[in-house]
């Protein structure tokens, strides 16, 4: 599985950021519904506490009161226990997810991933996806090694 590969490839500090607010944001509308999602968005996730940005305090209070229902549904949608509780903060606007420009990086020379990643990656059934995950992990580890040399 992907999370198993990441668990083996990433240092502890990076692991905490992999399962970040972006993962929660992707499932937010599915869990809280369209109306509440239009008036709120996950802002930060730290040590199991999800901070949600809201347009009005009333919506934040609703989320806070419903967190006993939201938190288990959110963790189930994510596939792991990531959120323990929810706080909120009022903002005059919601930012939404930034647009990301995808750049063509051209052909890349395949890297040989470290052998210790093969076992965790074996849980990824799709061979193309498994290879992409292994290549991504290998590139991350190579870049990390190069940063350590400078």
What digits encode the pLDDT tens for the residues 63-107?
A: 999 999 999 999 998 888 889 999 999 887 666 533 334 345 455
| Per-residue pLDDT at 121 | 85
Q: Is 56 helix (H, G, I), strand (E, B) or coil?
A: coil
Phi/psi at 43 (nearest 5 deg)? -110, -40
Distance CA 95, CA 117 (A): 37
pTM of the full structure: 0.53
């Amino acid at each position: 599985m992907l999370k198993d590969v990441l668990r083996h490839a990433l240092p502890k500090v990076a692991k905490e950021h992999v399962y970040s607010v972006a993962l929660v944001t992707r499932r937010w509308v599915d869990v809280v519904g369209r109306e509440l999602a239009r008036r709120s968005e996950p802002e930060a996730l730290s040590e199991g506490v999800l901070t949600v940005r809201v347009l009005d305090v009333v919506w934040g209070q609703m989320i806070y009161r419903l967190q006993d229902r939201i938190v288990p549904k959110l963790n189930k949608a994510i596939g792991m226990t990531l959120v323990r509780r929810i706080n909120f903060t009022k903002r005059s606007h919601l930012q939404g997810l930034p647009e990301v420009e995808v750049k063509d990086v051209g052909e890349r020379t395949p890297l040989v991933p470290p052998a210790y990643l093969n076992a965790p990656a074996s849980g990824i059934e799709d061979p193309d996806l498994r290879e992409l995950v292994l290549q991504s992990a290998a590139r991350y580890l190579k870049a990390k090694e190069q940063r350590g040399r400078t």
